[in-house]
Structure 1
Amino acid sequence: MDIKLKKYSHGITTKIIVFLMMITCFTGAIQAAVKLDIHNNFEIVFEDNYLHSQSFLWENDALVSGLSRLIKEYKSEEHILNGGTVSEDELRSEEEDLYLSYSENSKSYNPNLGEAENYEKFKEEYGDRISQAKDRLVKDDLREFHSLLQRIKEVKDPLYYATDGVNVYKNSTQTEKGQFKTYPAYMVFEGYSREIYPKEIDKDNYFYWGNTEELDPKDQAVFVAFTEKFLNNKEKEWQENKASATKGYYQLIGFFTGFILLFLYLIIVTGRKSFKDQEVHLHAVDKLYVDINIFLFSGLTVIWVAMMDSVGFTNMDKAVIPITIPISAAGFTLILSLVRHIKSRTFFKHTLIYKFFLMLFKFVRDIYENGNIAVKTVLIVIGYPILIALTFFMFPITLGLAAWFSLRRIKSFNAIKEGVERIMDGDIHHSIDVGGKGEFSKLAANINGITDGLKKAVDNELKSERLKTELITNVSHDIRTPLTSIITYVDLLKTEKDPAKVAEYVEVLDQKSQRLKILTDDLFEAAKASSGNIPVQLERIDIGSLINQGLGEVSDKIEEQGLEFRFNYPTEKVYIHADGKLLWRSIENVLSNIFKYALKGSRVYIDIEDVGNEILLTFKNISAYELNISANELMERFKRGDESRSSQGSGLGLSIAESLTDIQKGKFTIQIDGDLFKTMIYMPKYKNDQE
């Protein structure tokens, strides 16, 4: 059974039969829709009765609207001839048109005169034309009045009566509202109110019954009544139309459902030989380019619409079958070809436009990859006319492509131009983005590179200016403190006679002068280290021995602070390429920083690690002060761990250590993790070929 299903489900005979059935269903659906549109309205299928139908409203709205216009607007022929229907706005509009013609064409118009004077001359000269314009308006209204009156007089049923107090339009002897309300259905519009029976009529949303809401309450009224005979005939006619429309509606649903199912089946099986077949098998018609296919399908659609329109509305249902069958067969053949291209993923590749653009892309790419901008320009100037000549049949496409290409280049040029102007105006953070590749893209990248360099230079300059400001502030503060003390004690020595006091003052002066000397030396050393004007003698240094020797020299300070040093180093000796004196000066500054700011009684860890081409020397200690600044800020000159600046440090130690490490081709960094302060010095490892 499964083999038979595979044999017949995708067989060519099965596909042809299904295709013919689909065309039949499609044609049947079109014919049912046309019949439904010609002989019935679609809404009638869902309506309940005639009085609540769209047909009832459409049929009687014209009568009510016509009667309202007669009594409100036209009234009578005499009223129209006397100009009663011509409004001031209409006359003013006509006069304005004539005045415009007068100002442009008449020699009497004087631009040097005022508008009022010119308008008076216009009314004298164009008086006859103004009168003719008014007569034309009157004639137009009179023509419309007689046409409307003729249509109203042809209405025999329903009964109507309309009056404006003077003029009366009716087709029955009844003139009283009460007389009209005796009929099975009626509509009474009088003044601002309306009475409609049955109520279902008034609940409908299709119409608002002409302009009856604006009837003059004094003397204007419109009465319409529907006799029982009229309603019975209309109800019977409506029921017949509803039955016919319902039948057509179900035919439409049936044919359309069949068409959808058959079409979906063909979409699934077309191009396949079985459900498991992964390959798409194309037919002869599939050699047609996709864009040509779409063009032909659009042409068939236009032909079908034109042929259906030419047969006339009333005969359209008879012409559906002979016109639709051949055109739809050809159209769905093209659609199924498009489906096969979609399945084979060749929908875009199998188009003339794709092949043209592919060829053009390769041409442009070859130009851009194999020549400078001058060569590219020359080739484009020479190649484009040739391309136009070769593709004259699709000139709009090539012209559009050239315009697109030029627009992209112009946009790129404008983007670069605007970007340079913004950068010139001081917006150094602006980045020019033209996208893609090519000369403009390279130029934009180069300009962005210049901007980045400029931005870095500005940032460095701002940082330098900030550091200078802090330098002045902090140096002034740190030098002024001991200097003030020296001045004060010198003044005291001038008047002091007690030798004991003099000795005490001299001791204080010695301390403050030493403090001032330390600050001055540190400042000089920081400036010298930053400038790099220090002789460097690089040699092989045993870093472990250097640290051990140095710790021995500062053992007194270690005991004084109550610190416990833990020194970890590799079992084998490690050598670095550095200047021993400068390196120890850096280490000494780090140790000095530890003695000043480490928590008393805490541990200090010193680790030596081999990290490949470098040796890492790490110092870790717990700070006695809260470290509420970043590592980058702490590395700046005159920055201290205690922001109150109550300690004896100058704030230059870490900065000097960093500068001395840098000139030895090393790297100096610090890290802060809570109260843990870590200093890391990376130095180049000594190699045998280094002397």
Structure 2
Amino acid sequence: MILAVAVILLTAKIWSMRHGAARLRKDFGEKLREDTNVGLMMDCQDKEMLKLAADLDRQLLLLRRARLQYELGDQEIKTAVTNISHDLRTPLTAISGYLQLLKSEKMTEQAKEYVGVIENRTEAMRQLTEELFSYSVVTTASQYRKEEEVLLGEILEDSIASMYGALVEKNIHLEVRMPEKKIRVKANRSGLMRVFGNIINNALKYSDGDLLIRLEEDGEVSFSNHARELDEVEAGKLFQRFYTVQNGRESTGLGLSIARALVEQMGGKIWARKEEEWFTIRILLQAVVKNG
């Protein structure tokens, strides 16, 4: 009789601990996703389980503080970059204006060469300033977070049309493959235009003379081109802020970072891969509307 009671009590204790562990695991996952100071819930009255819950509470508090510090620091950096890029615009505009006036004056050939170098460097600084400003705006502004149902193929066609002149100028052979079916996604139209434009602009810098753009029925968009100068390691780093390969001297290293930030804001995925001589960037948007 005593043994039976002991077994029953032990079974009840084990069940209580299992139930408490399951509740603790679920509550811990929810607290990780929420911004709250409410502690973990614990139904089990076992002392060791209560100690475990208390330890997890302390670790959650430390994690929450670290995340808050990171978010504040990240925001401060973005604000500083925005302010700096904005402040640089005015003197760069003035420099460009004076350079134009100087070019209209009589100069020696050597002086013209020097002015040309200054003009090229000034333009590079202007592009970097604009990209810095754009990156800060993209990662903080809410305008790109407003989503609607859009036709993916239509936006892709508009993006290609806007960049077609630059592709022709660079002698890049373009091939586009799209399904007859209209692919609808929930996304931000302006954001997608920016993403596609930045990726095509990347092909202008690194392509060996071709660009294949494909739209699949599942909503995946891929941009492929031959790129002998890129290796597999460099291909994976192109989404990092300010990263450029050695031959990409005209690149600021922010175009693909902006593209990645926008795609992730829209709940999609973007990745790059180098296979043999082909470099491919793929985008997959999650919210594909199946019907229609």
TM range (shorter): 0.5 to 0.7
Q: Which has the higher contact order (CA 8 A, sep 6+)?
A: 2
What is the one-letter code of the residue matched to 1:440?
Answer: E
Decide which of 115, 136, 142 is 1:527's aligned counterpart. Answer: 136
Question: 2: distance between equivalents of 1:538 and 1:645?
Answer: 37
**Which digits, 9 at most, give the CA deviation of each residue in 1:568-608, with x for residues without a partner?**
2222111222222221111100111111112x23x432222
Contact 1:528 1:534 in 2 (8 A): no
**Which digits, 9 at most, give the CA deviation of each residue in 1:163-193, with x for residues without a partner?**
xxxxxxxxxxxxxxxxxxxxxxxxxxxxxxx
The answer for the alignment partner of 1:659 in structure 2 is: 261
Count of residue pairs brought into register by the alignment: 244
Q: Secondary structure at the match of 1:678?
A: strand
Identity of aligned residues (%): 22
Question: 2: distance between equivalents of 1:369 and 1:647?
Answer: 65
Q: Secondary structure at the match of 1:604?
A: strand
Q: Secondary structure at the match of 1:679?
A: strand
The answer for the alignment partner of 1:626 in structure 2 is: 230
The answer for the alignment partner of 1:273 in structure 2 is: none
The structure that has the greater radius of gyration is 1
1:606 pairs with 2:213: yes
1:365 pairs with 2:25: no
RMSD: 4.4
TM-score, normalised to structure 2, is 0.64
Q: Secondary structure at the match of 1:529?
A: helix
Residues 513, 535 of structure 1: CA spacing in aligned structure 2 closer, same or farther, 3 A cutoff?
Answer: same
Contact 2:131 2:252 in 1 (8 A): yes
**1:656 Cα offset (Å):** 0.6
What is the one-letter code of the residue matched to 1:609?
Answer: E
Residues 639, 442 of structure 1: CA spacing in aligned structure 2 closer, same or farther, 3 A cutoff?
Answer: farther
Residues 664, 443 of structure 1: CA spacing in aligned structure 2 closer, same or farther, 3 A cutoff?
Answer: same
Contact 2:205 2:248 in 1 (8 A): no
The answer for the alignment partner of 2:52 in structure 1 is: 444
The answer for the alignment partner of 2:122 in structure 1 is: 513
Instruction: Give unpaired runs (5+ residues) of structure 1.
Output: 1-354, 372-436
1:538 pairs with 2:147: yes
TM-score, normalised to structure 1, is 0.30
Q: Secondary structure at the match of 1:629?
A: helix
Contact 1:368 1:438 in 2 (8 A): no
**Which digits, 9 at most, give the CA deviation of each residue in 1:383-413, with x for residues without a partner?**
xxxxxxxxxxxxxxxxxxxxxxxxxxxxxxx
The answer for the alignment partner of 1:670 in structure 2 is: 272
Question: 1: distance between equivalents of 2:228 and 2:274?
Answer: 13
Question: 2: distance between equivalents of 1:509 and 1:630?
Answer: 30
**Which digits, 9 at most, give the CA deviation of each residue in 1:441-467, with x for residues without a partner?**
465367458648857958x95xx89xx
Q: Secondary structure at the match of 1:610?
A: coil
**1:629 Cα offset (Å):** 2.6
Question: 2: distance between equivalents of 1:453 and 1:626?
Answer: 44
**1:665 Cα offset (Å):** 3.4
**Which digits, 9 at most, give the CA deviation of each residue in 1:452-506, with x for residues without a partner?**
8857958x95xx89xx7xx99xx9xxx9xxx9xx79x97xx6xx96376666655
**Which digits, 9 at most, give the CA deviation of each residue in 1:71-100, with x for residues without a partner?**
xxxxxxxxxxxxxxxxxxxxxxxxxxxxxx
Instruction: Give unpaired runs (5+ residues) of structure 2.
Output: 18-44
What is the one-letter code of the residue matched to 2:10?
Answer: V
The answer for the alignment partner of 1:617 in structure 2 is: 221
Contact 1:671 1:678 in 2 (8 A): yes
1:581 pairs with 2:183: no
Decide which of 164, 176, 180 is 1:571's aligned counterpart. Answer: 180
Question: 2: distance between equivalents of 1:569 and 1:608?
Answer: 5
Kindly indicate which of the two structures has a greater share of residues assigned to strand. Answer: 2
Contact 1:669 1:680 in 2 (8 A): yes
What is the one-letter code of the residue matched to 2:12?
Answer: D
The answer for the alignment partner of 1:183 in structure 2 is: none
What is the one-letter code of the residue matched to 2:170?
Answer: Q
Residues 637, 370 of structure 1: CA spacing in aligned structure 2 closer, same or farther, 3 A cutoff?
Answer: closer
What is the one-letter code of the residue matched to 1:610?
Answer: E
Q: Secondary structure at the match of 2:179?
A: coil
Q: Secondary structure at the match of 1:680?
A: strand
**1:530 Cα offset (Å):** 1.6
Counterparts in 2 of 1:64-213, with a 5 A limit? none
Q: Secondary structure at the match of 2:233?
A: coil
What is the one-letter code of the residue matched to 2:52?
Answer: A
Q: Secondary structure at the match of 1:651?
A: coil
The answer for the alignment partner of 1:383 in structure 2 is: none
Question: 2: distance between equivalents of 1:454 and 1:528?
Answer: 30
Q: Secondary structure at the match of 2:127?
A: helix
Question: 2: distance between equivalents of 1:633 and 1:358?
Answer: 65
The answer for the alignment partner of 1:339 in structure 2 is: none
Residues 441, 568 of structure 1: CA spacing in aligned structure 2 closer, same or farther, 3 A cutoff?
Answer: farther
The answer for the alignment partner of 2:157 in structure 1 is: 548
Question: 2: distance between equivalents of 1:554 and 1:530?
Answer: 24
Contact 2:206 2:248 in 1 (8 A): no
Q: Secondary structure at the match of 1:605?
A: strand
Question: 2: distance between equivalents of 1:370 and 1:579?
Answer: 49
